[in-house]
A and B are shown apart, each in its own frame.
Chain A
Amino acid sequence: MANVIDARGRSCPEPVIMTKNAIDHGYENIEVLVDAQVAVENIKRFATSQGYTVNVEENDEEFTLNIRK
């Protein structure tokens, strides 16, 4: 079961901080919901740099990022 973070509507850099908190918590399977392309890019860059793989699904102007160790 993935840890789900709802970061929709959050302005920069809150989605990244929320993701960072989850990673710092040691979670290895995280799902992040965002609604801005810039948040997708920032989280992707950050999670990749932390050794995670990121898959992005787009659905109706929203994005789901699947982040796995």
Chain B
Amino acid sequence: MKSAKWKIIGSGAVLGILAALLVKFGNPVNMGICVACFYRDIAGALGLHRAGVVQYIRPEIIGFILGAFIFAKAKGEFKARGGSSPILRFVFGFFMMVGALVFLGCPLRMILRLANGDLNALLGLAGYIVGILVGIQFLKKGFTLGKSTKQPTASGYIMPAIAAVLLILLVVAPAFIFFSAEGPGAKTAPILMSLGAGLIVGLMLQRTRLCTAGGFRDAFLIKDFHFLWGIIGVFVFALIGNLVFNPASFKIGFVDQPIAHADHVWNFLGMALVGVTAVLLGGCPLRQTILAGEGDTDAAVTILGLIVGAAFCHNFGLASSGAGTTTNGRIAVIVGFVVVIAIAVSVVVSSKKKKVASKEGGL
């Protein structure tokens, strides 16, 4: 048990240090790794949105997927599975991205922002935890997306294949792929380094199953602090890494933080939406990415939801910027809550009906 704890802290530590290093070598400040932002950049590179400052095929994402794929294959854990409410997962993934881009970051970036002194992330953290608590209530009432079943092997290869194609597009850089000339999308660590870091994280998280949503969820739900230790590892070592590698960017406060805004209410609500969807989906964006590499086609559909969500966010002006949130973005978060809660309630109601119909008592 002891060694399991050090393993999870260790994987968080590696994640934190790599994030700090990626910033040192070119990634945007406080964005060494941001799963939501990086899918958004990929959506932009493919021209699904035309926000010129956030377009790049982020090799880290490719590394996460391929790293998890390679290790799952080696360990015999690669299994093509799916069929657990794919369209609901798509919708949850979509709104998860909306929440993340209103806050400006996935839960991992939230921790990395915190580890570099951005106190706005505290509001995000509070929102994330409240969102997770809301999600837990649904789980306790019997929320389920249903069983996944074995799928044809080919379906498990789709996401790793997409990752491989993205890598080719990145290296070949054909004219139809968009690469930012300025802005966050132009701030990039060298490809090999980003890819290498992504592969390490992918391999590692395939083994340790670290999940930012799981950390808080399990602590509240079953008093299991295993994954929470991993999150603490990320925070502590990203903090140390930033102080060692990027001391000039370290700044404690709310104002003028890089790629962040100080709209407290919407930092809170944006991450609350991410929290509730992450619990209902069974994992944060990072965990979904790892699962997709292992052949989980439900996670793959969730990622498609994230990517389409990102495209909508920039096409419809939902995403925040350093200047603050947008009216459209605030409306979209509210719509997101209404849709997600409505789905969750209806799932709980219909699963209760089913339970009563199928058997009396028992489990």
Contacts and interface: CB of A to CB of B under 8 A. Distances in A.
Given A11-B282, A12-B282, A5 B222 contact: no
A6 to B, nearest CB: 9
Nearest to B149: A9
Interface in B65-120: 77, 79, 81, 84
Contacts of B4: 45
A19 B84 CA distance: 20
Contacts of A22: 363
Interface string A4-45: 010011111110111011100100000000011110011001
Given A9-B147, A9-B149, A18 B363 contact: yes
B343 interface: no
B288 to A, nearest CB: 11
Contacts of B147: 8-10
A46 B224 contact: yes
A41 B210 CA distance: 12
Query: In this complex, which of B209, B224, B363 has the most chain A Cβ atoms within 10 angstroms of its Cβ?
Result: B363
B363 A41 contact: no
B79 A3 contact: no
A49 interface: yes
A11 B139 CA distance: 12
Interface residues on A, range: 20 to 34
B101 to A, nearest CB: 25
B218 A13 contact: yes
A11 B209 contact: no
B147 to A, nearest CB: 3
B226 A45 contact: yes
Contacts of B144: 10, 14
A55 B140 CA distance: 26
B363 A11 contact: no
Interface string B114-156: 0000000000000000000000000110001111110000000
A61 interface: yes
A48 interface: yes
A14 B164 CA distance: 32
A5 B145 CA distance: 17
A35 B149 CA distance: 10
Contact of B84 (A9, A18, A46): A9
Nearest to B75: A37
B363 A45 contact: no
Contacts of A14: 139, 144, 282
Given A20-B222, A48-B1, A49-B224, A9 B148 contact: yes
A46 B363 contact: no
5 contacts: A3-B363, A11-B298, A17-B139, A20-B222, A42-B224
Closest 7 CB pairs of A and B: A9-B147, A11-B282, A12-B282, A9-B148, A38-B209, A46-B222, A37-B77
Given A9-B148, A11-B145, A11-B282, 17 more contacts: A5-B363, A8-B147, A9-B146, A10-B147, A10-B148, A11-B84, A11-B281, A12-B214, A13-B139, A13-B214, A13-B222, A16-B218, A17-B221, A35-B79, A45-B1, A45-B226, A49-B224
